[in-house]
Homo-oligomer: A and B are copies of this chain.
């Protein structure tokens, strides 16, 4: 009994078969200086940063990782279907109120918000030709889901499952050290309201295993510190010895292979579907394929 076989067969074409057959130019090597590895007891999660959209945030995150700021800290606010928030947990109900004078924050002053950026030639945008509920225009850049408002001349990283962003207080310019990873249905209302600067390439399933808080109590902060899952380590791939450095590739969203991948999802082959689905690409369902670079 082939169950949901075609649904997966289509995915296999995207990330499996193409992984084997694709020409080199169909894939982009991830810059090891933008490749972040976060370890928990469940396994290693791999993220790519995208400095073009949030240069200060990406630089801050790398500096925090390199300073071992997160090592030994935790995911202290984890809300099923929403976000896993990591860092030192300062100023939360569970840790005893605001700690603006926390010594650990001394070297990490609040950052200016980078909620969007001017549309510019340094980012190559490939449009998705269907409507979206939240952005006037959607597409991909560098493998990331991106929204655009041509009238305003702005573009931004969309909040999809796996999006990495800095948390903040009510004031826009208050992100400092605390970050979150989206773990549920895309919370698109956060688009252009938080500074998104990366996405998970592999190992989101490990983040899904994190111990959860209760969203109705302390905004999801896990009061029992012992229950919070620890960030065992965080590293930038380029800091690892060459022999231990992982090499990831993301499908080149400017390539013909990607155009075919999109079309295969918008217009699935007949067989499994009894009713042809509407010809729509949900930009947050169709995560751009990633692979470990072939030897």
Contact = CB atoms under 8 A, between A and B. Distances in A.
B278 A3 contact: no
A275 interface: yes
Interface in A58-96: 77, 79-83, 85, 90-92
B219 A212 contact: no
A98 interface: yes
15 contacts: A1-B99, A3-B167, A3-B168, A3-B178, A4-B168, A7-B189, A8-B220, A80-B205, A81-B204, A131-B133, A183-B208, A185-B186, A186-B285, A205-B212, A208-B208
Interface of A: 1-9, 11-12, 15-16, 19, 77, 79-83, 85, 90-92, 98-100, 113, 115, 130-134, 160-161, 167-170, 172, 174, 176, 178, 180, 183-194, 204-205, 208-209, 212, 215-217, 219-220, 268, 271-275, 277-278, 280, 282, 284-285, 287
A85 B152 CA distance: 44
Given A81-B204, A161-B184, A1 B216 contact: no
A77 B189 contact: no
